[in-house]
Amino acid sequence: MIIRIVGEGQWQVPDTEMGHLNRIDARVEHAIEAASQNELTEALTELVTTVRTVGTPVADDNIVDSNLIVPDVSATIEEVSVWLSENPTGDGLIPG
């Protein structure tokens, strides 16, 4: 799966990591529900760090579509709330 981190680039992440990413995504959703910017920043930091750690960077000159896009760690509650509201499946940032 190709995951783009806003402002950073793309990573090829093994499908076997999706369960781990979904657990972090649940923390993102909880932070939004609790309206806690601190919790959101912590969860996004963990999400972005995990994508970087388990994924392989996609070369900038390799043009491929992203399967998922995740916000950077500076995203606000308002910004992430909009992203979540635009997801028709209600799965959060990570499907599943």
The per-residue pLDDT for range 7-60, each reduced to its tens digit, is 999 999 999 999 999 999 999 999 999 999 999 999 999 999 999 999 999 998
The reply to whether 35 falls in a domain is yes
The reply to whether 92 falls in a domain is no
The reply to whether 94 falls in a domain is no
This prediction has a pTM of 0.91
Domain range spanning residue 27?
2-86
Cα angle value 96/60/52 (rounded, 5°): 45
The dihedral region occupied by 38, where left means phi > 0, alpha psi between -120 and 50, and beta the remainder, is: alpha
Number of domains in the chain: 1
Band (pLDDT 50/70/90 cuts) for residue 87 is confident
Predicted confidence at residue 2, as pLDDT, reads 96
The reply to whether 21 falls in a domain is yes
Give me the mean pLDDT over the 66-85 stretch.
93
The reply to whether 77 falls in a domain is yes
User: What token pair was written down for 96?
Assistant: 């599943």
